Chains A and B, each alone.
Chain A
Amino acid sequence: MSTSAAPVPEGPSGVGEGAPSALARVLGVLRAIPVVWYLTIILWVWIAAINPLFAEPSGFLAYLKQAAPLAILAAGAFFVLASGEFDLSVGSLVTVCVVIAAAVSDGDPSKTVPVIALLFVIGLIVGLINGVVTTIFRVPSFITTLAMLLILDGAVWLYTSGSPKGALADNFREIGRMGIDVPVIEQLPYSVIILVAIGAFSVWLMRGHFGRQVLAVGDNDRAAALSGINVTRVRITAFVLSALSAVIAGILLGGFAGVTAQVGQGLEFEAITAAVLGGTVLGGGRGSVVNAMAGALALTALFSWLNLQGVSGALEDAVEGVIIIAAVAVASYRLREGS
């Protein structure tokens, strides 16, 4: 995820017909770069100008480490959004993962591997329920996953009464806290490695059969069904991917910061904001998973930048709200223009 590797977006090519002039070609290339990358790069440069450490490998990696859980969630959110659905349950699923990991392992390092396996099973079940209820029982996903959010939150509340039990083992926490020692850049955080791996996996998914199916289903599920796509299966898979992204984000966040019962609060909206900021169209059918993840990088950079400006945390929510509206407005404007 280096700055120069801005991906060429899926979709119509930026090169016009005929023999364009050199300037037109440059403009064409610039135009092909999604807005979110401009935003991200401006923020990076600005932050680096205020705080030169940010431009050094260790500073930038620290930022990527911070951004990793949200970027992974944004990738998960992308699949669900692109298939035309919503997943509001990821934030509370993150909390469930952290709370359960702490309670089950109670700081015992030998239990880390089975606990992680357990978390993935829980994620799988939650994703399957979201998918099955939405597709087979035809409950709108907004309602299904809102209900799942409430159920999971309630379960955490019942179980912890607001104060989580147990502790996370050191080796569990290392995943989100530590990294591999590498010369020059000091330490390559595990979360950044996981982030890159998930980014690569998501791109691979989107380039393949499944990716085309997801976009087709999101664009027009009836047409997709008529052309032989198993809409139900595609959507259930998207929900499962989203839930699994929440499990991974939970493992990283629990590792980064330790146990709390509010670790996942609001993450579902941050993930959707990131995806939308990355050009994912609510309602489905359009978008790029890499840009959705870039949206998370931009959002994290924005929060860091606000912090550097001395703007208090209370404003972050307001900024997030403004971004959702602005990003959706731009997207729908573009849609209207494009058609």
Chain B
Amino acid sequence: MRKRWHLNRVLLLLVAFTAFAVFVSACGDDEDDSGGSADSGNGGAVGLPEPNPDFFDQEEMDRQLAQRSIEPEDFGAGNDPWVQAIEPGELVDTSEYKKPGPWNICFSNAAVDNPWRQTGWTTMQAEVELHDDIANFEAVDAEASDEKQIADIRQLANSGDCDALIISPNTTQTLTPAVERACKTGIPVIVFDRGVNTDCPVTFIHPIGGYAFGADAAEFLVENVPDGGKILALRILPGVDVLETRFTGALEIWKDANIELVGNEFTDGDPAKTKQIVSDYIQREGGLDGIWMDAGATAVAAIEAFEDAGQEVPPITGEDQLDFLRKWAEDDLTAIAPVYSNFQWRTPIIAATRILSGEPVPKEWVLPQPAITEEQLDDVIAQNEGMPPLHYALCGCEDMPGYPERWQG
């Protein structure tokens, strides 16, 4: 009796699993179908998903794609990449904020939880040392928490000790009211990196943006992947605007291209997961013709997946982290490294001193956003000799005090 019961249970479990499996595979297929329908019309790319409407702003995307070919200019702050501006427009008159030094500059930082922010944060502290009229630099780390950053901003803005307040927001929506309140205290507010939905800050400093980043990488693949080639897109996380816009930008480029997007997968920024995903795709597709990445941190892991499978590494896009650049040079890969300009961490300090000196700044300070190509690769690597593998090559920090030890951790 008991025997039969057990068999029934095993059977039940297997049936349940099979049902679940069929359900999941049905879901999976659905996705494929909806993706595949995109190619039926105009003979463009195969397998593209619809862009996520939450991160699709045609006007902003067109602007960014155009800005890629606009020469950055010296609007009066100098001609280094971190003080140039693209289409600075009419400058903001800051005479109302003019104040004799020495100044106290305050900074509410979203986080220092990844190598990009660490490199930038080190650079920013070095930038402070370059300015004798900054008496005090008070920085508070929100540790990637919106609540903490809201409290940090309120505390800094109300302390009365800040002559200018720099904010690198953790998230756009949630931090907007906090930034607005800070503006109301009358001290000049400078926002950089991620934006907020208000124009109350004196200046908003950022590189061109995510659409341009994604488009640079996508265009490179279109040029270097054979017709109808299979491209795998590797992404870190869904729902993060700076990353989502990169994918949207890539889709925009690909929609008229003759490529096949065989998948777009989230890696959580984990190299082991990245390697497994790429290995699975290599097996499933029998090989890949291109890898697109929304951020370079796991690019080396993706490359290793091809090596371990005994396959040639196809054209790949990464970022300006040195481990990837060195691997690219050593193995003579076909690659490009779009750059989410790390040197932007210098700019807010410079902006603060300009504003407190009554010198004009652009309302929206759009910094150059280069991409490292084959031609520049050797120079960039030579310049960064001895720097750690996770350092961002375009830190703009080479001539700063304490270089290179300070950035070597």
Q: Tell me the residues in window 39-92 of chain B with beta carbons closer than 8 Å to chain A beta carbons.
A: none
Q: Which residues of B contact A39 (CB under 8 A)?
A: 14, 17
Given the known A-B contacts A31-B10, A313-B273, are A62 and B389 also in contact in the complex, defined by CB atoms under 8 Å? no
A121 at interface, CB cutoff 8 A:
no
B135 at interface, CB cutoff 8 A:
no
A161 at interface, CB cutoff 8 A:
yes
A199 at interface, CB cutoff 8 A:
no
B278 CB to closest chain A CB, in angstroms?
11
Q: Would B10 and A38 count as touching, CB distance under 8 A?
A: yes
Interface 1/0 per residue, A239-275 and B, CB below 8 Å: 0000000000000010011101011010000000000
Interface 1/0 per residue, A156-169 and B, CB below 8 Å: 00000111111100
B345 CB to closest chain A CB, in angstroms?
15
Of all chain A residues, which has the CB nearest B274? A257
B382 at interface, CB cutoff 8 A:
no
Q: Which residues of A contact B10 (CB under 8 A)?
A: 31, 35, 38
Q: Would A263 and B272 count as touching, CB distance under 8 A?
A: yes
Q: Would B266 and A66 count as touching, CB distance under 8 A?
A: no
Given the known A-B contacts A35-B10, A161-B118, A311-B27, are A260 and B270 also in contact in the complex, defined by CB atoms under 8 Å? yes
Interface magnitude class on chain B:
35 or more
Most buried by B among A16, A28, A54, A311: A311
A21 at interface, CB cutoff 8 A:
no
B99 CB to closest chain A CB, in angstroms?
34
Q: How far is the CA of A310 from the CA of B238 in the complex (A)?
A: 15
Q: Tell me the residues in window 3-41 of chain A with beta carbons closer than 8 Å to chain B beta carbons.
A: 16, 24, 27-28, 30-31, 35, 38-39
B265 at interface, CB cutoff 8 A:
yes
Interface 1/0 per residue, B1-30 and A, CB below 8 Å: 011011101100110111011001101110
Of all chain B residues, which has the CB nearest A330? B13
Given the known A-B contacts A35-B10, A164-B390, are A27 and B3 also in contact in the complex, defined by CB atoms under 8 Å? yes
B326 CB to closest chain A CB, in angstroms?
11
Could you pull out 6 A-B pairs where Cβ atoms are within 8 angstroms? A31-B6, A162-B118, A163-B115, A262-B269, A305-B21, A310-B29
B226 at interface, CB cutoff 8 A:
no
Q: Would A167 and B389 count as touching, CB distance under 8 A?
A: yes
Interface 1/0 per residue, A60-71 and B, CB below 8 Å: 001000100000
Q: Would A311 and B9 count as touching, CB distance under 8 A?
A: no
Report, nearest first, the 4 A-B pairs whose CB atoms are least far apart: A309-B28, A257-B272, A257-B271, A163-B115
Q: How far is the CA of A265 from the CA of B267 in the complex (A)?
A: 13
Q: Would B112 and A162 count as touching, CB distance under 8 A?
A: yes
A228 CB to closest chain B CB, in angstroms?
34
Interface 1/0 per residue, B269-304 and A, CB below 8 Å: 111111111011001101000000000000011001
B271 CB to closest chain A CB, in angstroms?
4
B376 CB to closest chain A CB, in angstroms?
24
Q: How far is the CA of A253 from the CA of B271 in the complex (A)?
A: 10
Q: How far is the CA of A194 from the CA of B408 in the complex (A)?
A: 36
Q: Which residues of A contact B114 (CB under 8 A)?
A: 162-163
Q: How far is the CA of A16 from the CA of B6 in the complex (A)?
A: 13
Q: Would A46 and B21 count as touching, CB distance under 8 A?
A: yes
Of all chain B residues, which has the CB nearest A252? B272
Given the known A-B contacts A31-B3, A31-B6, A162-B118, are A312 and B272 also in contact in the complex, defined by CB atoms under 8 Å? no
The one of B24, B115, B270, B304 in contact with A306, judged by C-beta atoms closer than 8 angstroms, is B24
Given the known A-B contacts A51-B284, A163-B118, A311-B27, are A38 and B14 also in contact in the complex, defined by CB atoms under 8 Å? yes
Q: Would A311 and B3 count as touching, CB distance under 8 A?
A: no
Of all chain B residues, which has the CB nearest A258? B271
Q: How far is the CA of A177 from the CA of B24 in the complex (A)?
A: 31
Q: Would B28 and A310 count as touching, CB distance under 8 A?
A: yes
Q: Would B266 and A312 count as touching, CB distance under 8 A?
A: yes
Interface 1/0 per residue, A298-321 and B, CB below 8 Å: 000001111111111111000000
Q: Tell me the residues in window 213-240 of chain A with beta carbons closer than 8 Å to chain B beta carbons.
A: none
B241 at interface, CB cutoff 8 A:
no
Of all chain B residues, which has the CB nearest A157? B113
Q: Which residues of B contact A (CB under 8 A)?
A: 2-3, 5-7, 9-10, 13-14, 16-18, 20-21, 24-25, 27-29, 31-32, 112-115, 118, 238, 263, 265-277, 279-280, 283-284, 286, 300-301, 304, 308-309, 388-390, 409
Q: Would B9 and A330 count as touching, CB distance under 8 A?
A: yes
Q: Which residues of A contact B112 (CB under 8 A)?
A: 161-162
Q: How far is the CA of A140 from the CA of B273 in the complex (A)?
A: 33
Given the known A-B contacts A27-B3, A39-B17, are A256 and B272 also in contact in the complex, defined by CB atoms under 8 Å? yes
Q: How far is the CA of A4 from the CA of B349 in the complex (A)?
A: 67
A59 at interface, CB cutoff 8 A:
yes
Q: How far is the CA of A165 from the CA of B284 in the complex (A)?
A: 35
Q: Would A253 and B272 count as touching, CB distance under 8 A?
A: yes
Most buried by B among A50, A62, A166, A310: A310
Q: Tell me the residues in window 145-202 of chain A with beta carbons closer than 8 Å to chain B beta carbons.
A: 161-167, 177
Q: How far is the CA of A315 from the CA of B115 in the complex (A)?
A: 28
A139 at interface, CB cutoff 8 A:
no
Q: Would A163 and B28 count as touching, CB distance under 8 A?
A: no
Q: Which residues of B contact A307 (CB under 8 A)?
A: 265, 276-277, 280
The one of B20, B32, B279 in contact with A62, judged by C-beta atoms closer than 8 angstroms, is B279
B268 CB to closest chain A CB, in angstroms?
7
Given the known A-B contacts A260-B270, A312-B265, are A66 and B276 also in contact in the complex, defined by CB atoms under 8 Å? yes
Q: Which residues of B contact A265 (CB under 8 A)?
A: 270
B109 CB to closest chain A CB, in angstroms?
12
Q: Would B275 and A51 count as touching, CB distance under 8 A?
A: no
Q: How far is the CA of A30 from the CA of B7 in the complex (A)?
A: 9
The one of A24, A42, A164, A308 in contact with B280, judged by C-beta atoms closer than 8 angstroms, is A308
The one of A311, A330, A337 in contact with B5, judged by C-beta atoms closer than 8 angstroms, is A337
Q: Which residues of A contact B13 (CB under 8 A)?
A: 35, 326, 330
A209 at interface, CB cutoff 8 A:
no
Q: Which residues of A contact B269 (CB under 8 A)?
A: 260, 262
Q: Which residues of B contact A27 (CB under 8 A)?
A: 3, 7
Q: Which residues of A contact B270 (CB under 8 A)?
A: 257, 260, 262-263, 265
Most buried by B among A28, A303, A307: A307
Q: How far is the CA of A16 from the CA of B25 in the complex (A)?
A: 39
